Structure 1
């Protein structure tokens, strides 16, 4: 199952179970361990996923982190878990201490719903204060799933993740700043744009007017961009639909001739003595004109081979094999009345 589907299934499980989960321990077992497992790590192998991993802090011995994921006998991710009801903001300092005493490059702080991945971009072997990857598992976007996939056992590459972590971290911070400015433009932000378009003195009154104008301008710009994208997508879809409608229908290579239909009518005249007419059907193919019992391909009554210079009647034997009989004229079909009626008996006696 693709990782995206697995994450979606876990999110649905969390939504159903969280009302029944009250402790940190149950959060670990119900939410966190399944997440570790879908990343490809064996949670039942104590050499790969180590619970209560010891991270001694100088004179303070016996300090333990909830889980450590190992690869090649080295910890690659340490994980600190909290009850799903707890906020994570006050707990990163504890993980910060653990990070310093291990050789890992990645730390994960989670309550089973919110996940925060840390590394040491700013100083070697010193965990950054801010995570480079942060998400709520119940509100995942496609690009976030792509980043989570990099931590999968089959993809894990320390250098690649660290190289990408810087971009992720600062992109996240910039997006947050943009969102804040859109919500409530700061003085510095308004001044940046006002000074480019207003030649007069930026008094308090002018800045007040531009605060509103800058906010409106950004909202309108984003709205126009979204509309442009939607219109472009709709236009592309309309063109595609028009092209599909204009595509010529494939001309069938099967041509049913009047001779074949006349042959069918002769066979019906023979077989009606034993079965109802509505049970006799025909189905034309490129190589022969088939006559069937109950319109069932498994119950051929006979076949008309009229496409060549010599015409044949294909009689069906009890083992469903075919014997061809040459016809001088269509009326010759009447000569094979007995074997045709006998074919009906094969199916009726089954």
Structure 2
């Protein structure tokens, strides 16, 4: 079985792949009762599939001279999540060969498991049972048939003796890898970064030193991002659906794609537009800049963006 993604978070969806291979059947059919489910860290079981699955044998090959081999299977798309699962860890070459050989002869089933918003954190194990003739066959990949639900949070940001620190916490009973990215603006339009990657122990609370003015924590295979600012103020971002060009006079001209509107930016408006790169925080604005910002915002030229631990950004809210 294969699981994608292997690490996820509450409120997400996990996809499970199960392969029913009938290539070994010769002049016999099978109709096992199949159970596929998920057991959470508290022992609660959610069944995703409980039904009989009919497997029919392939026709015997025509061995007569000059006979063309007949088509045996409907074409199946390559289950990329299976390859992704293989590439995510250390597996023998033979396993990849087996995967590729079974793509056409196998019957691929996909099940989705919606992770509740209040789901317990930790290790979720898969249930895979094939009942046939009073016997039960379990998944050959049972040791790897699990996924992890995790959560990292920012507890505090503080300054001591001129240095800035962030306190982060792993809420999961499992080890959780994290990545810290310190961002330092270089020349205009360029950004220098330094990266630290480490694993947090179960329920660990850790203090880290921030070496730049802008730092982010990434986890859950880098899909989740937390700004290590300690501020509730949003970041400002230029509307990415607006076409921009700069003329020889130095002015910036903006054109909305869905409306017959165009704007010319000069002075403070131009400066604020250029600074609103998604890493510029609203609380850095002075009173005069706030007035300019309100004008640009009212025209939907600049958006407020909150990088949370969710993939979806919270736009346009204070």
Q: What TM-score range do you get, normalising by the shorter chain? A: under 0.3
- The answer to which structure, 1 or 2, has the higher relative contact order (CA under 8 A, 6+ apart) is 2
Bigger radius of gyration: 1
Q: TM-score, normalised by structure 2?
A: 0.20
Q: Which structure has greater helix proportion? A: 1
Q: Could you tell me the TM-score, scaled by structure 1's length? A: 0.18
